[in-house]
Amino acid sequence: MALAVSSTASLFRVLVNSQGRFSLWPAAKATPVGWSQALAACSKQDCLAFIGRSWTQLNVRPRTVSFSLIFFGGDEGKGAQDKYRTVIEAARFADAHGFSAIWLPERHFTFMGSLYPNPVVLHAALARETTRLRLRAGSVVLPLHDPIRVAEDWAVVDNLSAGRVEISFAPGWNVEDFVLSPDDYAERYSVMYDGIKTVERLWQGQTIERTDGEGKTVKLRTYPTPVQPILPMWVTVAGSERSFQQAGQAGAHLLTHLFDQDVEELARKIQLYRDARGTSGFDPQAGQVAVALHTYLADTMDAVLENAHGPYRAYLKTNVQLIEKLAQSRGIPLDISRLEPEQLDQAVDWIFEKFFRSRSLLGTPESCADLVTRLAAAGVQEIACLLDFGPSPAAILAGLPSLCRLKDQSQSWSGTSHFRD
């Protein structure tokens, strides 16, 4: 007996994303970014039956997006006498209101990030100011350091915080930073990944071999013993697909941003990261992905523009040389010095509009909700809210309740449904 062949229009596929959410999808339509096929084209009834069978078999995790705080600014102006008050007070707020973590960077020799030459020092203070917040380096530029000192210093903070330390490692990109380790700039990626292995071994109480002052090979174990037997490890990546894959191959969590990639590009690269984890023997879904976004929330857009527009433009103009170096490090020829003042203003306005509309949390809780949803669908589990890009300390702290409202609203949406028709 000949079987009737269903038309393409009547066929469906079952798709699933990295959070375990099912989608009943028309077979004729292309698979959207962030989703993969779980069942090939068949009837709608068969698709629903497949979902029914799979529902109890899957350890489905709700599409929950956590929120953390990240800092990257500089304050050598009016607030210079009390540089770190904003960080400390924001950390206390985050600790009391359900934020997941606080990230501190490593920056050298530039105004941007100038308050943070070594994140471990300030995290030692925050360890005593907080009780539950995860204390993360975002990042340790590992080629600038001896991995022995990294393991020692962060183990101290792990003890001070009762086991709340996490480190995101980065290879570095600003050539001036490598006055601290000039021989490692050319091979900084391999130096970083080799150093990560050393830090992991030392953290777990293993020994390594080094040469002492008399030229002898000795075995060393670092102290103090950390509270956490395994160091939660991240790698900071920008836009390179290869960097996403390398982070996955290392079994690390991933910290990135939207500076030079949009949400759709990010979703594709997150899938590359998860695929790389799987082919390297790691659980593809166990890797956490955090995205840093410039953040200022208020109850009205007028308040947002008043407190964020001017400061962000000034922040960009103050740091145009660093932006130029960042572009050049990625093979993008950019010469800021050749721009006329009017052209520079236009470029800064263009950057602001680009980030304001689709790559930042600059707005009200309601206006920012769509970006949170899109990032969650792309496979992002955490948004790291970059606060100190120019608003005054008072404005930053005043905006935290609105940010908390976005966090609470976003998390209340999560997990309410795992099936989409």
Delimit the domains of the chain by residue range: 8-55, 67-99+288-415
Residue 193 has, within 13 A of its CA and on its CB side, a CA count of 13
The DSSP secondary structure of 93-155, one letter per residue, reads HHHHTT--EEEE----SSSTTTT-S-HHHHHHHHHHH-SS-EEEEEEEEGGGS-HHHHHHHHH
List 255's β-bridge partners, or say none.
236, 290
Instruction: Give pLDDT, residue 19.
Output: 55
Which of these, 181, 170, 230, lies nearest to 202 by C-alpha position? 230
Tokens, residue 238 = 């920008």
Rounded (5°) CA angle 15-18-24: 20
Say how many residues make up the chain: 421
SS3 (DSSP) at 358: helix
Q: How many CB atoms lie within 10 A of CB 122?
A: 22
pLDDT tens per residue, range 196-240: 999 999 999 999 999 999 999 999 999 999 999 999 999 999 989
Residues 6 or more apart whose Cβ sits within 8 Å of residue 54: 22, 38
Q: From CA 283, how far away is CA 61, in angstroms rounded?
A: 14
Spatial distance between the Cα atoms of 362 and 295, rounded to a whole number of angstroms: 5
- Dig out the tokens for 32 from the structure: 């959207």
Q: Which amino acid is at 419?
A: F
Computed from CA positions of residues 304, 305, 306, 309, in that sequence, does the dihedral angle turn out positive or negative? positive
Identify whether the C-beta of residue 138 lies closer than 8 Å to the C-beta of residue 68. no
> Does the domain spanning 8-55 belong to CATH 3.90.820.10?
yes
Tell me, what's the pLDDT at 336?
A: 62
- Are 116 and 107 a contacting pair, CB within 8 Å? yes
Question: Is the peptide bond preceding residue 224 cis, with omega within 30 degrees of 0?
Answer: yes
Q: Which residues of the chain have pLDDT under 70?
A: 1-9, 17-21, 33-35, 50, 52-63, 75-81, 318-337, 339, 413-421
